[in-house]
Amino acid sequence: MADSALHDIPSVYEPSLFGTYSKKIGMWLFLLSDSLTFGALLYAYSYGRISTANWPTPFHSESIVNATIMTAFLLTSSLTMVLAVRASVDHNAKAQTLWLLATMACGAGFIILHGREWSNLIAEGLTLPMFPKVLGHEAASEFVNVSQTVPQFASTFFTLTGMHMLHVTLGVIYLGVVALRRKFIPILLVLWLVAWLTTPAYSPFHYGAHVLLIAAIVCAIILWLKPKVYDSSDVEVAGLYWHFVDLVWMFIFPLVYLMSAKIL
Amino acid sequence: MATHESAAHASHAHGAPQGFIRKWIFSLDHKVIGLQYYFLALTAVFVGMFLSLLMRIHLIWPTATLPFFGEIKPETYLSLLTMHGTIMVFFVLTTAPQGGFGNYFLPIQIGAPDMAFPVLNMLSFWTTFLGFIVLLAAFVVTGGAPLHGWTGYAPLSALQSAGPGEGLGADLWITSIAIFCIGALMGALNFITTTLDMRAKGMTMMRMPLTVWAWFVTAILGLLAFGVLLSAGILLLMDRNLGTSFFVPLVTVNGQLTGHKGGSPLLWQHLFWFFGHPEVYIAILPAMGMCSQLLSVFSRKPIFGYKAMVYAIMAIGFLGFMVWGHHMFMSGMSPYTAFAFSIMTMGIGVPSAIKTFNWLGTLMRGRIRFTSPMLFAIGFVSLFVTGGISGPFLAQPVLDIYLHETYFVIAHFHLIMGVASIFGIFAATYYWFPKMFGRMMNEPLAKLHFWLTFVGAYAIFMPMHYYGMSAGLRRYSQSTEVAFILKLLPIQRFITIAAFITIASQFIFVINLFWSMFKGAKASDNPWEATTLEWITATPPPHDNFGGRTPVVNNGPYEYSVPGAPRDFVMQSDPEIKPKH
Ligand code: HEM
Ligand SMILES: [Cu+2]
């Protein structure tokens, strides 16, 4: 890394206020701003929930169990991320890549479970008015009723979890670039094709898959502009992002799922 | 031990980029990016000004057909004011002082070779540029530009069927705002990191020029506020296009149910103003910083109360997040909440007053040099006071119930945010032009420009106070249809004439700007005899700002008329002096 230009002459600058390197400060600042972005969404959620007299609590045990497993995936991924950072500090390139891949695998598991959950809920009738209709499927579950009587429920559910899912997806891609660099771009393209072709046209993921395509293009541009070997500071900064996304889930899981669980 | 982001140095190590595209279009150099922002804002301000002129014409000649827009219907008028406000607030007042001058001079003033993240810097400009194009596109799509004002109140802004401009035009508007947020966030992150991490040796936080402090705190405000607006924008887009009901209650349009229910327009107002109030300080803080800087330079005196100024900036930034409710007194808010917001709002007056008194204290017994940048800086203080005085009136919920949605509010915020911030931009332009282009601007023309603009601004906006107190409504185009408003028409006539003259005199500025770029007298490296670091380097500054070395700072930024010093100013990089005051 070209950082050396400055490592050689450290006395040219005032010591940083937080005694750390720019990229890390930059990431902390991004996370600060992102937490306000999520904060605003959570505020919108609370606003809707408080101002609605009979907020529905329709999540049955399958949803809760599923979400708990998702949570476990994320918690595990935080652990593997820590191990990846540790490996990078020890200059153990192989372990670093492996732990990063493990983290990505957990993230991918989370996304897949979550995607399945979304699809099930949509099939059961929890939808937004403009979601394409599920063909040949007449749902008659409680969710149909919920979507009609309290539209806020589906709106906030899909917005909050969707925004978070987007963050996890971008996180997996971020880690993929750090771990594999150029080799990750073809993988990303394959993933995009798979996600796009295997999802039915009415599914939000059919369109959502294009996030992967856009990400592949952006990553390609970045790697072309700045071809470099990522060092331990890059892994650490990526880790900050990853832990933050986990942390956000620790708000969404209780607020969106547990507090709307059906208790018999 | 601190290490530093490499990119700045990596790109500079290879020397200045060659070729037009790498040098001027996709440049990574903060100075070029600063100029790009500046000229974007200059373009935007002329579009915005043109729109305001059309509105003024319509108000006094309701039947006149206008260029581009033909006959003005009430909804056309709403489109005009929406686009005027949005362009001015986002693409002028947020763009020029922070993106423009901040980008150009923050790194130089702290002795850095560039911003911490040059690529991000470039991206933030091009994102902002894209936002501007998307916004302008709203003019040409079917239905035209949106009607909902720069504040985008729901449900008007949330329903495709709510009016002619609320179809594609409104979608473009929100998309543009969201894009702008992303650009502003990238910029803010960069500014903060640069200030924290790239200060030259000896440039401690308390030796930073007040301009740097202002850009720094502005960036913090932007970092926190734009993230919220981004969320609000996303929710609004979902309401419009996915059928969610965050902001829309059960309403009908033309007797038809809209299919939405359960949402709250107040949620939009909360989210918007949580951003909106910090935003007004984002527009004014850099101008405050520049004003402090210039008053000290041209009074040949240290700034009065440097520390107080720094703490006042921070206090304003902090309190700025606690007062958004004063825009919502009329929304059915509980009187207790209104009371709390009212107290907080008046509280902001305290640091604002501290700054004002410090400016006056700086001027007092100074050896003032009435150059054109100084005139604009003094003009800024005047406008800030005049516009600020109407604030505490509006901050009384009881008074605001009457004054809300009248021209009184228009007068308040145009003086304090619009014109005052523009004066900051003018002052900075006249002051830094020699450094940026290596030539001086024409002084007599600049002075003429100042007097016309200064008198013109008061002539336009002072009468609006009376118009508002007589219940003249804002965002209302039928100036001849209602009896009591018709009686106020002479005021509108006067304002329109003043606006004509003031707008015309801005061409003096533009001509001066471009003429001086090529034909102005050559400038020396430090024509104003100022102390900060941009004046120790060549004019215009080399690619890495200081020609391969990094300055070492030994003095504070405002060492003027130091007893015993050889000159009446001591550069920040001069050997250390022990000031006696
Ligand atoms: C002592 C300081 C200030 C006080 C007490 C104050 C108070 C207020 C109040 C109560 C309103 C709401 C009026 C209404 O809508 O009915 C308002 C509007 C506004 N103020 Fe201030 N203000 C102050 C300073 C500033 C500053 C420094 C700026 C900008 C730099 C600013 C910009 C605005 C803007 C843009 C609006 C109106 C936005 C809109 O409705 O379109 N104010 N102010
Ligand atoms: Cu305000």
Mean pLDDT of B247-259: 89
For residue A219, the chain B residues in CB contact (below 8 A) are none
**B5: nearest CA partner in chain A:** A22
Q: Do A10 and B226 touch (CB under 8 A)?
A: no
Strand B252-253 relative to strand B256-257: parallel, antiparallel, unpaired? antiparallel
Q: Any CB–CB contact under 8 A between A128 and chain B? A: yes
Instruction: Indicate whether residue B416 lines ligand 1 (CB < 6 A).
Output: yes
Among the partner residues B6, B120, B197, nearest to A16 by beta-carbon distance: B197
Which of A 71-110 lie inside 8 A of B, CB atoms?
none
The 10s digit of each residue's pLDDT in B41-93 is 999 999 999 999 999 999 999 888 887 788 888 889 999 999 999 999 999 99
CB of A5 within 8 A of CB of B13? yes
CA distances from A222 to A28, A219, A227 (A): 21, 5, 8
Is B345 a domain residue?
Answer: no
DSSP, collapsed to helix, strand or coil, labels residue B141 as: coil
The percent of chain A in helix, strand and coil, each rounded to the nearest 5, is 75, 0, 20
Interface size between A and B, measured as CB pairs under 8 A: 169
Buried b (16+ CB within 10 A) or exposed e, B140-151: eeebbbbbbbbb
Instruction: Indicate whether residue B151 lines ligand 1 (CB < 6 A).
Output: yes
Is B359 a domain residue?
Answer: no
Q: Is the pLDDT of residue B18 over 80?
A: no
Site of tokens 């039947």: B63
Q: Pick the more confident residue, B70 or B269.
A: B269
Q: Is the pLDDT of residue B335 over 50?
A: yes
Q: How far is the CA of B177 from the centre of ligand 2 (A)?
A: 19
Q: Is the pLDDT of residue B277 over 50?
A: yes
Mean pLDDT of B365-389: 95
The tally of domains found in chain B comes to 3
Confidence of residue B261 (pLDDT cuts 50, 70, 90): confident
CA distances from B473 to A85, B377, B389, B469, B490 (A): 61, 32, 21, 10, 15
Is B543 a domain residue?
Answer: yes
Average pLDDT per block of 10 residues along chain A, 264 residues long: 37 75 92 96 94 88 92 96 95 94 96 92 84 66 82 92 96 94 93 91 87 92 81 93 96 93 78
Mean pLDDT of B264-289: 96
In a shared domain, residues B62 and B114: no
CB of B576 within 8 A of CB of B554? yes
DSSP, collapsed to helix, strand or coil, labels residue B140 as: helix
Confidence of residue B109 (pLDDT cuts 50, 70, 90): very high
The reply to whether ipTM tops 0.85 is: yes
CB of B468 within 8 A of CB of B407? yes
CA distances from B137 to B143, B190, B442 (A): 12, 29, 37
Q: Is the pLDDT of residue B3 over 50?
A: no
CB of B436 within 8 A of CB of B104? yes
Q: Which domain holds residue A198?
A: 18-260
Mean pLDDT of B118-128: 94
Is A195 a domain residue?
Answer: yes
The whole-number pLDDT of residue B9 equals 42
In a shared domain, residues B66 and B138: no
Cα B178 to Cα B172: distance, rounded to the nearest angstrom: 10
Which residues are within 8 A (CB) of A55 and not within 5 positions of it... i.e. 6 or more apart?
A49, A150, A153, A260
CB of B547 within 8 A of CB of B512? no
Instruction: Indicate whether residue B244 lines ligand 1 (CB < 6 A).
Output: no
Cα B551 to Cα B554: distance, rounded to the nearest angstrom: 10
Is A1 a domain residue?
Answer: no
Among the partner residues A14, A35, A47, nearest to B200 by beta-carbon distance: A14
Q: Do A41 and B244 touch (CB under 8 A)?
A: no
In a shared domain, residues B131 and B257: yes
Which of A 149-208 lie inside 8 A of B, CB atoms?
150-152, 154-155, 158-159, 163
Q: Do A14 and B199 touch (CB under 8 A)?
A: yes
Q: Any CB–CB contact under 8 A between A54 and chain B? A: no
Cα B421 to Cα A153: distance, rounded to the nearest angstrom: 43
The whole-number pLDDT of residue A132 equals 73
Q: Which of B54, B73, B92 is the last residue of a domain?
A: B73
In a shared domain, residues B35 and B173: no
DSSP-assigned states of every residue in B198-211: -PBTT--GGGS-HH
Q: How far is the CA of B267 from the centre of ligand 1 (A)?
A: 20
Residue among B417, B419, B461 to mutate when testing ligand 1 (max atoms within 8 A of CB) = B417
Q: Any CB–CB contact under 8 A between A65 and chain B? A: no
**A45: nearest CA partner in chain B:** B246
Kindly give the number of the ligand 1 atom that is closest to the alpha carbon of B281: 30
CATH number for the domain that contains residue A123: 1.20.120.80
Q: Which of B224, B240, B263 is the last residue of a domain?
A: B263
The whole-number pLDDT of residue A1 equals 28
In a shared domain, residues B61 and B191: no
In a shared domain, residues B52 and B174: no
Instruction: Indicate whether residue B112 lines ligand 1 (CB < 6 A).
Output: no
In a shared domain, residues B63 and B116: no
DSSP, collapsed to helix, strand or coil, labels residue B14 as: coil
The 10s digit of each residue's pLDDT in B500-534 is 999 999 999 999 999 999 999 999 999 999 999 99
Q: Which of B229, B263, B297 is the last residue of a domain?
A: B263
Q: Any CB–CB contact under 8 A between A131 and chain B? A: yes
Q: Give just the sign of the alpha carbon dihedral B122, B124, B125, B129.
A: positive
The whole-number pLDDT of residue A5 equals 36
Site of tokens 């072309």: A224
The whole-number pLDDT of residue B14 equals 47
Phi, psi for B110 (deg, rounded to 5): -100, 5
- Nearest Cα to Cα of residue B314 among B341, B285, B342: B285
The whole-number pLDDT of residue B189 equals 96
**B9: nearest CA partner in chain A:** A5
The percent of chain B in helix, strand and coil, each rounded to the nearest 5, is 65, 5, 30
Q: How far is the CA of A166 from the centre of ligand 1 (A)?
A: 37
Helices (H) and strands (E) in chain B, counts: 18, 4
Is B511 a domain residue?
Answer: no
Residue B71: its H or E element: strand B70-71
> pTM of the entire structure?
0.93
The whole-number pLDDT of residue B84 equals 97
Q: Is the pLDDT of residue B255 over 90?
A: no
Is A9 a domain residue?
Answer: no
In a shared domain, residues B69 and B131: no
Phi, psi for B324 (deg, rounded to 5): -60, -25
DSSP-assigned states of every residue in B299-328: HTSPPTTHHHHHHHHHHHHHHTTS-GGGG-
The 10s digit of each residue's pLDDT in B419-454 is 999 999 999 999 999 999 999 999 999 999 999 999
In a shared domain, residues B159 and B208: yes
Is B293 a domain residue?
Answer: no
Is B375 a domain residue?
Answer: no
In a shared domain, residues B113 and B223: yes
Q: Which domain holds residue B544?
A: 521-581
The whole-number pLDDT of residue A138 equals 62
Is B381 a domain residue?
Answer: no
Cis peptide before A56 (omega within 30 of 0): no
For residue A129, the chain B residues in CB contact (below 8 A) are 242-244, 259
The tally of domains found in chain A comes to 1
Q: Is the pLDDT of residue B262 over 90?
A: no
Q: Do B119 and A41 touch (CB under 8 A)?
A: no
Which residues are within 8 A (CB) of B384 and not within 5 positions of it... i.e. 6 or more apart?
B284, B288, B352, B356, B416, B420
Is B455 a domain residue?
Answer: no
